[in-house]
Structure 1
Amino acid sequence: MGEQITNQEQVYPLAPASKMPRSDEESNTLQSNELRRKKRIKLAIYIAAFAVFQTIVIVVFSLTVMKVKTPKVRLGTIELKNVTTITGTQASSPSFDISFTTQVRVKNTNFGPYKYDSSNATFLYQGVAVGEIFIPKGKAGMLSTKKVSITVSVNSNALNSTTSLGNELGAGTLTLNSQAKLCGKVELMFVMKKKKSAQMNCTISIKLNAENAVDLKCK
């Protein structure tokens, strides 16, 4: 009987132990998949953030660097050299003959040079031209102001009616206007060129009874 029991034990062995290595492999696979999923999420976040950053950079670049602004042309400080005025008498008509020095200033606020053609600046009294100067062609560099020194001579020879002039000279103030237009191109990034015209409109008030002081306003 003892031998039979032994044989039966040999014929019917105990069930094998559970396969733990397979469970470890499955766990490792799940962890690996989870890590890859998290990496993909992080990568997608990085790509989205980079795309947003690039969009912001492009918008800012377009609104600042690539935006072409119209240059401004103005007169600088006026220094009187010769002032001769006649308020008017029975023997002579009111008149003026004035010369002064100033600067034509071309201000360029673009991220590229502004090249302009030659032009003229006209000085007027009540809409009548009383003087003119030549502005040579030139270039205002990036974010800079081009200054051209000039000497201006104006007189009343072209005026037909001098009644209002006599009144103005008698009041001690002579008001002139200056106008000019510069045509040129703004060059950006060495490839993009945009046509821009700069216009000048200045009012010059000469205080004849206050040591010939000058009040200059430009717009």
Structure 2
Amino acid sequence: MHVKTLKVRLGTVMLQDVKTRNQTSSSFDISCTTQVRIKNTNFGPYKYESTNAMFTYQGVTVGQVSIPKGEARFHSTKIVIVSVSVNSNTLTIMSTTSTTLRSELGSGVLTLNSHAKLRGKVKLMFVMKKKKAAKMNCTMPIHLSTKDVELNCD
């Protein structure tokens, strides 16, 4: 029996609070609610362990959210709704990062990335168990004026 790789993606992102500053020191503080979608196309349930989804800006973690352990039933998509707050407090004042942040805030489009790795087991035909990992890698351009988010997931 062949175990297919599961797909983990972000679903709809709803921005609640968006605060940006682009004067002497550029910064952002964004609160949002999103869906983590775990698609299982196998002939058996996928039980996964809890993990963290990281949100990054230019490779630096600016927020994280916990994905609790759970199960995606066979041939279905499990949707986990999470709330996350991302901010620029953890960014060091490096000239390249601050210049990039200032130009992105000036253009009105802030680009964040999200990463997560789920580990778990697929129980095939309710008999065999196979370990399987699923990775999420998404790019999230946020249009600050309209509060729209475009999701691009691998």
Please state which band the TM-score falls in when normalised by the shorter chain.
over 0.9
Q: Structure 1 segments of 4 or more deviating over 6 A?
A: none
CA RMSD for the aligned pairs? 0.8
Q: What is the rounded CA distance, in whole Å, between the counterparts of 1:198 and 1:103 in structure 2?
A: 16
Match of 2:89 among 142, 152, 157: 157
Q: Which has the higher helix share?
A: 1
Q: Give the structure, 1 or 2, with the largest relative contact order (CA under 8 Å, sep 6 or more).
A: 2
Q: Give the corresponding residue for 1:167.
A: 103
Q: TM-score, normalised by structure 1?
A: 0.67
Quote the sequence identity (%). Answer: 65
Deviation at 1:213?
Answer: 1.1
Q: Tell me how far apart the structure 2 counterparts of residues 189 and 168 of structure 1 sit (CA, whole Å).
A: 50
Computing the radius of gyration from Cα coordinates, the structure with the larger value is 1
C-alpha contact (below 8 Å) 1:88/1:95 kept by paired residues: no
Distance in structure 2 (CA, Å) of the matches to 1:108 and 1:189: 14
SS in structure 2 of the partner of residue 76 of structure 1: strand
Report the equivalent of 1:146: 78
Corresponding residue of 2:42: 110
The aligned amino acid for 1:131 is G
Any conservation in 2 of the 1:181–1:199 contact (CA below 8 Å)? yes
- Kindly provide the amino acid, as one letter, of the partner of residue 52 in structure 2: N
| Alignment partner, residue 196 of structure 1 | 132
Which one has the bigger strand percentage?
2
Q: Provide the C-alpha distance between the structure 1 equivalents of 2:147 and 2:23, rounded to a whole number of angstroms.
A: 19
Aligned length: 150
Q: Could you tell me which runs of 5 or more consecutive residues in structure 1 were left unpaired when the two chains were aligned.
A: 1-65
Counterparts of 1:167 and 1:87, CA distance in 2: 9
Q: Note the C-alpha offset of 1:67.
A: 2.1
**TM-score, with structure 2 as normaliser:** 0.95
